[in-house]
Amino acid sequence: MTCQGCARNATQAIQGVAGVANAVVDLTAGRATVWWEPGRAADENAVVTAVRRAGFGATPLVTEDAHDASRSVSGASRGAEVWSPLAGWRFNVVVGGAATLVLMVGEWVLGLGMTRWFQWLAFGLALPVQIACGSRFYRGAFNQLRVGQANMDTLVALGSTTAFAYSTWALFAGAATHLYFMEAVGILTLISLGHWLEAAATARASAALRSLIELAPPKARRLGADGAESAVPVAELVIGDRILLAPGDRVPIDGEVIDGASALDESMLTGESMPVEKRAGAKVYAGTLNGGGRLVARVTALGEDTALASIIAVVQRAQNSRAMIQKLGDRVSAVFVPAVVLVAIATGLWWGLDYASARETAGRFMPWLWAVTLPATPLAAAFIHAAAVLIVACPCAMGLATPAAIMAGANVAARRGLLIRDGHALEKSGRITAVLFDKTGTLTAGKVSVAAFADLRAGSGQDGTAQVLAADLAEPSRHPLSVAIAAWGRSRLEATTVGSAKAPAFEDWREVRGCGVEARRGGALVRLGSLRWLREGGIDVTPATRFVTDWTERGATVLGVATAGALEGVMALTDTLKSGAQDVVAAIGRQGNEVYLVTGDQAATAAAIARQAGIDPTRVFAEVRPERKAEIVQRLQDQGQRVAFVGDGINDAPALEQADLGIAVSRASDVAREAADIILLRSDIEAIPEAMGLARATLRTIRQNLFWAFFYNAAAVPLAALGFLSPLVCAAAMGLSDVLVIGNALRLRRWRYRS
């Protein structure tokens, strides 16, 4: 492979293999990492065959190092290694540059271009450069030709060979004409320089990913049964092992703290700048940095199952993904090289067979452009201008326009605790018109507490009180409201003797999603849930009217507990807006988006929360069950909106899938199972305007790159055909076009969100 365009072709070839879920080709390392679909056996021979059919060489790579990044990150035990005949572009730049410098001084400074001995010297310098430096292009062109394809190597090889072959023929024929050995050598040198700069820029673009890969240390301090400490490779650890984290250690695995206290720096994982306190029971993640305390942790996840590995896989997938906007570039690139070859042939025939007409046409444009010195003979003009057309054309610029920007954008996002799954997500983020927030745990802090309880049947003779009944019903559920009620019940038992009798036994306990929980006790149906659900079940909730009115106006969620069709009590649960929620809503509005709120709460509660957050009350959807949130998204889409849904990524999965863009507010441990397009590794929502702003900046960069690539080729090829660009200038322009595209993408590294 010689450039990112080659890597792109190899990637597409691998992804075309049956059973391949995803593939990442690293141009610098010459390695492809392949992910297989679940249940599909890895078929390395099929991968190698596909790469070879694409015109590249490949051999299976077997590594014995279990901590090798390709294994630990992707889970693949084997990859396909793609290699090149020379060590790198540096050789071409140094050797070709030395020869080009001598020839430039001789021709442009000393004026020896027409001197016979200097022409022979030029031939002697150009021949080894053509063989040694040109071999990389010749090999690439031949491999592509062998499989019936053509790429940039084809154009470079044809252009350089045309200039060299004509000059060699003229030298041996004794023709008294200018020779183009300097141009032939300069073409290879300048294009190699462009590839060298491209490789350096690409390496900078993927710096964040490399930093992530290098975070997890290869060894860990394992504690034996007797407490003895030993340093072992991470590959030897198993689930359940105990490891010691000394001050300053990087965490090698995902685990749970069982002893000690410390503060860990999780900034590279979550983008959170402040250290996170860790005590017994807290989770620790691979790649994070221990502070000044000593911790003992139990291993819960290794290798590809860690949160870090999941993040790396997502970033790799994003870097390697394709956006819909790239289709136009792909269609043009597919026919670009054959079209350029035909234009070059037509240019050669025109200048060779109708030299006077070609000179006259070029002369008409000179007053509008610039004056040039044209070759003195039709044959020289035919060869040189045809070579210029071949060299100036750059299909790579079109191929790199989108992936370079996506790579840079994905890396910038990863450094800021934003995981963007693919290029489609970036593209969709830049076109959103409406943002729909879930309430609990997303717009609010998710730290729900019981603020008030009204026992409507005090002294009724029921077994236990309504408070205890509600707490016992909530205990088995993991819903945030149930957890809050259960905790409230336990605290009351500790503080009083009320309800100290044996807890009632339940039968047929079940959770009704989006409504509440119910069970049977002594044959009677008992329920805990929303008043709407209780009302639909035939329970009279009017005794709680005043309580409901008072607390919903304060933004509280009101639930009821009922036995045998009668309401026993109601409780108000309060949750606070996340800090900065108002600023986030305002910032999203300034970006030109409409902000909506969806919740299962009563309308009055939803309206109160909306007022606090600064959301228009007319854009609130209340008393919505989880399964209907997707219908709300669909309704907005039917109105012509492009909707982003922001939820916790678990109960909101259908809505996240239905939305044009799903944004999950999550912690690192949830990364692997989220179905969203964008994942916020921090639990706060301040990053949402930043994520959407970055996506818009990335989409803008893609459009700029595509415009430049099309404009460059559309302008450069006709200019070269008319004789306004010499082969040497064409080589410099072609090499720099790739660098400009990547350089423009790298500007995203300096992008800063401004609210």
Residues assigned a catalytic role: 438
Q: Among residues 359, 341, 363, 340, which one has the least CA distance to residue 350?
A: 359
**Dihedral angle, C-alpha 380, 381, 384, 385, nearest 10 °:** -170
Query: Which residues are within 8 A (CB) of 356 and not within 5 positions of it... i.e. 6 or more apart?
Result: none
* Tokens standing for residue 160: 């350089």
Starting from the edge strand earliest in sequence, which strands make up the sheet with 557-563, in order? 449-455, 566-574, 557-563, 524-530, 516-521, 507-512
**Dihedral angle, C-alpha 87, 90, 95, 97, nearest 10 °:** 160
Element (H, E) at 568: strand 566-574
Q: Please, are residues 286 and 254 in contact by the beta-carbon 8 Å criterion?
A: yes
Quote the Cα angle for 583-590-696, to 5°. 105
Query: Which residues are within 8 A (CB) of 360 and not within 5 positions of it... i.e. 6 or more apart?
Result: none
State the residue for tokens 């008319």. Answer: 722
Query: Which residues are within 8 A (CB) of 309 and not within 5 positions of it... i.e. 6 or more apart?
Result: 72, 73, 75, 286, 303
Query: Which residues are within 8 A (CB) of 737 and not within 5 positions of it... i.e. 6 or more apart?
Result: 194, 394, 396, 397, 708, 709, 712
Q: Please, are residues 202 and 742 in contact by the beta-carbon 8 Å criterion?
A: yes
Q: Which phi and psi (to 5°) does residue 350 adopt?
A: -65, -50
Query: Which residues are within 8 A (CB) of 422 and not within 5 positions of it... i.e. 6 or more apart?
Result: 317, 318, 321, 677
**Cα 540 from Cα 518, distance rounded (Å):** 17
How far separated are the first and last CA of the chain, in Å rounded?
43
Instruction: Annotate 85-143 with DSSP letters as a single string.
Output: SSS-HHHHHHHHHHHHHHHHIIIIIS--TT-HHHHHHHHHHHHHHHHHTTHHHHHHHHH
Q: How many residues does the chain have?
A: 755
Strands 678-680 and 418-420: antiparallel
Collapse the DSSP code of 500 into the 3-class scheme (helix H, G, I; strand E, B; otherwise coil) and give the result. coil
**Dihedral angle, C-alpha 313, 317, 320, 326, nearest 10 °:** -170
**Cα 562 from Cα 565, distance rounded (Å):** 6
**Cα 52 from Cα 639, distance rounded (Å):** 49
